[in-house]
A and B are shown apart, each in its own frame.
Chain A
Amino acid sequence: MSLPLALRGLFREGAWHAAAPFAEGAHAPGAHLDGDAVLDVHVRGKRYGERTLLNDFRLRMRPGEIVALLGASGCGKSTLLRLIAGLDSAYDGHVRVRGRAQDAPSTDVGFVFQEPRLFPWCSVADNVAFGQSGTAADGVHVAALLAEVGMAGRERALPKELSGGQAQRVALARGLAGQPRVLLLDEPFSAVDAFTRMKLQEMLVRLVQRHQVAALVVTHDIDEAAWLADRVLVLDADSGRLRHDVDVPIVRPRGREGGMLAAARARIFDALRDAHAF
Chain B
Amino acid sequence: MISELQSPIGFVHTASEPSGDVVAVAARAGARRLGLRLLGALVPIAALLIAELANRAGWVTSNLLPAPSDVIRALFELGWRAVALHVATSTARVVAGYALGATSAVVVGSAVGLSRTARAILDPSFQALRAIPSLAWVPLLLLWLGIDEAPKLAMIAIGAFFPVYMGVVAGIRGVDGKLVEVARLMRLSPFALVRRVLLPAALPSVFTGLRNGLSLAWMFMVAAELIAATRGLGYLLTDGREMGRADLVLAAIVLLAILGKASDAAMASLERRSLAWRDAFEDNDSPGGAR
Closest to A86 in B: B185
- Cα-based distance from A9 to B230 in the complex (angstroms): 96
Contact of A117 (CB < 8 Å), options: B178, B203, B279: B178
**Closest approach, in angstroms, between the C-beta of A161 and any C-beta of chain B?**
9
Q: Mark out the residues of chain B between 253 and 291 whose CB falls within 8 Å of any chain A CB in the assembled complex.
A: 276-279
Residues of A within 8 Å of B179, CB to CB, are 117, 119
Closest to A106 in B: B187
Closest to B277 in A: A121
Indicate whether A90 reaches chain B with its CB closer than 8 angstroms.
no
B-side interface residues, number (CB < 8 Å): 20
Secondary structure of the A side of the interface? loop
Contact of A160 (CB < 8 Å), options: B183, B185, B203, B279: B279
- Cα-based distance from A120 to B275 in the complex (angstroms): 10
- Cα-based distance from A171 to B277 in the complex (angstroms): 17
Closest to A171 in B: B182
**Closest approach, in angstroms, between the C-beta of B126 and any C-beta of chain A?**
28
Q: Mark out the residues of chain A between 83 and 136 whose CB falls within 8 Å of any chain B CB in the assembled complex.
A: 85, 87, 104-107, 111, 113, 115, 117, 119-122, 130-132
User: Are A131's CB and B188's CB within 8 A?
Assistant: yes
Indicate whether A159 reaches chain B with its CB closer than 8 angstroms.
yes
- Cα-based distance from A19 to B188 in the complex (angstroms): 50
**Closest approach, in angstroms, between the C-beta of A162 and any C-beta of chain B?**
10
Closest to B280 in A: A160
User: Are B277's CB and A120's CB within 8 A?
Assistant: yes
- Cα-based distance from A119 to B181 in the complex (angstroms): 12
Secondary structure of the B side of the interface? helix
User: Are A120's CB and B186's CB within 8 A?
Assistant: no
User: Are B186's CB and A105's CB within 8 A?
Assistant: yes
**Closest approach, in angstroms, between the C-beta of A204 and any C-beta of chain B?**
19
**Closest approach, in angstroms, between the C-beta of B62 and any C-beta of chain A?**
55
Residues of A within 8 Å of B186, CB to CB, are 105, 130-132
Q: A159-B277, A160-B277, A160-B279 in contact; A117/B187 too (CB < 8 A)? A: no
Closest to B279 in A: A160
User: Are B200's CB and A119's CB within 8 A?
Assistant: yes
Chain A: number of interface residues, binned into ranges: 20 to 34
User: Are B185's CB and A105's CB within 8 A?
Assistant: yes
Q: Mark out the residues of chain A between 143 and 188 whose CB falls within 8 Å of any chain B CB in the assembled complex.
A: 158-160
- Cα-based distance from A105 to B193 in the complex (angstroms): 15
**Closest approach, in angstroms, between the C-beta of A26 and any C-beta of chain B?**
37
Indicate whether B241 reaches chain A with its CB closer than 8 angstroms.
no
Residues of B within 8 Å of A130, CB to CB, are 182, 186, 196
Contact of B187 (CB < 8 Å), options: A105, A119, A121: A105
- Cα-based distance from A105 to B276 in the complex (angstroms): 31
- Cα-based distance from A115 to B179 in the complex (angstroms): 11
- Cα-based distance from A130 to B180 in the complex (angstroms): 13
**Closest approach, in angstroms, between the C-beta of A66 and any C-beta of chain B?**
21
Indicate whether B197 reaches chain A with its CB closer than 8 angstroms.
yes
Closest to B274 in A: A121
Indicate whether B32 reaches chain A with its CB closer than 8 angstroms.
no
User: Are A111's CB and B185's CB within 8 A?
Assistant: yes
Indicate whether B13 reaches chain A with its CB closer than 8 angstroms.
no
**Closest approach, in angstroms, between the C-beta of A195 and any C-beta of chain B?**
24
Contact of B278 (CB < 8 Å), options: A115, A132, A160: A160
Contact of A87 (CB < 8 Å), options: B185, B196, B277: B185
- Cα-based distance from A87 to B178 in the complex (angstroms): 12
Q: A105-B186, A119-B197, A131-B187 in contact; A87/B181 too (CB < 8 A)? A: yes
- Cα-based distance from A170 to B53 in the complex (angstroms): 64
Residues of B within 8 Å of A122, CB to CB, are 277
Would you list 29 pairs from A and B whose C-beta atoms are within 8 A, ordered by A residue? A85-B185, A87-B181, A87-B184, A87-B185, A104-B187, A105-B186, A106-B187, A107-B187, A111-B182, A113-B178, A115-B178, A117-B178, A117-B179, A117-B181, A117-B182, A119-B179, A119-B182, A119-B197, A121-B203, A122-B277, A130-B182, A130-B196, A131-B185, A131-B186, A131-B187, A131-B192, A158-B276, A159-B277, A160-B277
With A87-B184, A158-B276 already in contact, 8 other A-B pairs whose C-beta atoms are closer than 8 Å: A104-B187, A105-B184, A117-B179, A119-B179, A122-B277, A130-B196, A159-B277, A160-B277
